């Protein structure tokens, strides 16, 4: 069970108990004490859950629509394909973040470190809970948990809009994006709806939203690692890590500053570079979808323009 | 460990009861409750007996309230929160004093079969 699902259920339980407490008749001493004890237990559980953030990965994926027969079962072929594609998508993101952009083909290095287990089956629509049982393998944070969050954000973005998907695609390389496409293709072919839940996210997409997402992910994702662009640096918002840069043709590029730039360097961008002519080295991610290409710019560094 | 095979850490008990006629008065009832924290105080019962104990007082003349209470406790204890799987419940009628003694003897035998 993800932390979010669990906290939602405790909150719902707590709300019910509060309503019951509000309706206790005069004279029902033990009834009031019973409900108060229950309320205290739930409040304590919620506090404990909030205090103990889970460093390991947790996610739940629920399916509805054609492959699901009430709460009784789910088409086995569909379920195995959809889950395999979900897990593959997470693994690709994990591999990209651990080892840099993946080669065009071949296995993901050390993928055994990114193993998710099915830890529960939830009925209603038909859901699978997945978790990292062997714990984070890195001393520097929780990479698989981060990959699950990123994958879920990308799935949600694909269900929302072309622009949201282009934003999310900034963090994906070509193989991860292909895995996202494959995930939605399986859902589309199966006529399924989907709900994705992690510790912090929870979104549902009906069958028509899944069809739209599948269509959106048919676009091509291309990435140029280092594009030098001459122009004038206009400034950066350091907390949001967003920048503006005016090209020589007067158009203004907006985007975010790469995470590879240390915070100290980020703080020096405005004092050292604002309104100066320079060359911005950008990573440019282009998502070409049905309507028009959408480009996202990630600032890697600024260098002095050659003197004229 | 899997919830399905591990021993329970505690027992949840909901007691549906009618007050004795002698405790119909609110003040007398409150005094009786306060006199026996070993039975009625949730925290102490939990510590002493590892039981989460809750009470539904059917002497309170409020039928719809009892419906809401029953619905809540039944919903709470009939499913596992994590998996939504059904859980079983036992209904035990409260017996006579003689039956209590008989039960206590059985428990003692179970604790020490040499006796």
Task: Specify the pLDDT at position A221.
Answer: 84
d(C-alpha A176, C-alpha A185), whole Å: 14
> A76-118 pLDDT, tens per residue?
999 999 999 999 999 888 888 777 666 666 777 777 777 788 8
ipTM of the complex model: 0.84
Residues 6+ apart with CB under 8 A from A105: none
- Minimal Cα–Cα distance from B98 to chain A, Å? 26
Per the listing, tokens 């009861």 go with B17
pLDDT band at A125 (very low <50, low <70, confident <90, very high): confident
| Prediction pTM value | 0.64
Can you tell me which residue has the tokens 């919620």? A46
Interacting residues of A45 by C-beta distance below 8 A, sequence separation 6+: A10
| Residue A70 pLDDT class (50, 70, 90 cuts) | confident
As given in the structure block, the two tokens for residue A54 are 């889970």
Q: From the CA of B18, how many Å to the nearest CA of chain A?
A: 12
The average confidence (pLDDT) of chain B is 85
Closest CA to A125 of A61, A175, A170, A171: A61
Question: Cβ separation of A34 and B54 shorter than 8 Å?
Answer: yes
Note which residues in 21-60 of chain B have CB less than 8 A from chain A.
26, 29-30, 33, 40, 42-43, 52-57, 60
Burial A84-113 (b: 16+ CB within 10 A, else e): ebbbbbbbbbbbbbbeeebeeeeebeeeeb
Interface check for A7 against chain B (CB to CB < 8 A): the answer is no
pLDDT band of B42, cuts 50, 70, 90: very high
Question: First vs last Cα of chain A: how many Å apart?
Answer: 62
Say how far apart CA A116 and CA A94 lie, in whole Å: 12
């Amino acid at each position: 069970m993800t932390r979010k699902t669990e906290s939602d259920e405790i909150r719902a339980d707590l709300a019910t108990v509060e309503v019951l407490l509000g309706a206790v008749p005069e004279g029902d001493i033990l009834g009031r004490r019973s409900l108060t004890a229950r309320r205290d237990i739930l409040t304590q559980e919620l506090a404990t859950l909030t205090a103990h953030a889970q460093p390991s990965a947790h996610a739940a994926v629920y399916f509805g629509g054609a492959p699901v027969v009430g709460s009784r079962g789910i088409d086995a072929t569909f379920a195995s394909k959809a889950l395999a594609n979900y897990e593959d998508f997470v693994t690709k993101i994990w591999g990209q973040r651990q080892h840099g952009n993946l080669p065009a083909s071949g296995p993901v290095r050390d993928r055994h470190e990114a193993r998710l287990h099915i830890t529960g089956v939830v009925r209603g629509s038909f859901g699978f809970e997945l978790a990292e049982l062997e714990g984070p393998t890195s001393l520097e944070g929780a990479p698989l948990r981060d990959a699950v969050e990123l994958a879920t954000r990308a799935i949600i973005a694909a269900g929302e809009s072309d622009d949201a998907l282009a934003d999310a695609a900034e963090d994906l390389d070509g193989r991860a994006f292909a895995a996202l496409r494959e995930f939605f293709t399986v859902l589309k072919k199966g006529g399924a709806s989907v709900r994705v839940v992690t510790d912090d996210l929870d979104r549902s997409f009906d069958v028509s939203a899944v069809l739209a997402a599948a269509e959106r992910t048919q676009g091509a994702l291309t990435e140029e690692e280092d594009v030098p662009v001459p122009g004038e640096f206009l400034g950066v918002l350091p907390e949001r890590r967003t920048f503006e840069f005016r090209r020589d043709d007067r158009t203004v590029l907006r985007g975010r500053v790469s995470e590879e730039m240390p915070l100290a360097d980020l703080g020096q961008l405005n004092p050292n570079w604002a309104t100066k002519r320079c060359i911005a080295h950008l990573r440019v991610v282009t998502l070409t979808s049905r309507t028009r290409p959408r480009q996202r710019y990630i600032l890697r560094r600024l260098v002095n323009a050659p003197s004229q | 460990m899997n919830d399905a095979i591990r021993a329970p850490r505690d027992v949840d008990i909901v007691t549906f009861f009618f007050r004795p006629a002698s405790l119909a008065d609110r003040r007398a009832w409150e005094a009786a409750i306060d006199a026996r924290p070993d039975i009625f105080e949730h925290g102490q019962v939990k510590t002493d007996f590892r039981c989460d104990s809750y009470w539904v007082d059917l002497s309170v003349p409020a039928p719809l309230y009892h419906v809401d209470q029953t619905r809540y406790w039944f919903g709470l204890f009939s499913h596992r929160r994590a998996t939504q799987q059904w859980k079983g419940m036992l209904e035990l009628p409260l017996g006579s004093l003689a039956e209590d003694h008989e039960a206590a003897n059985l428990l003692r035998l179970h604790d020490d079969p040499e006796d």
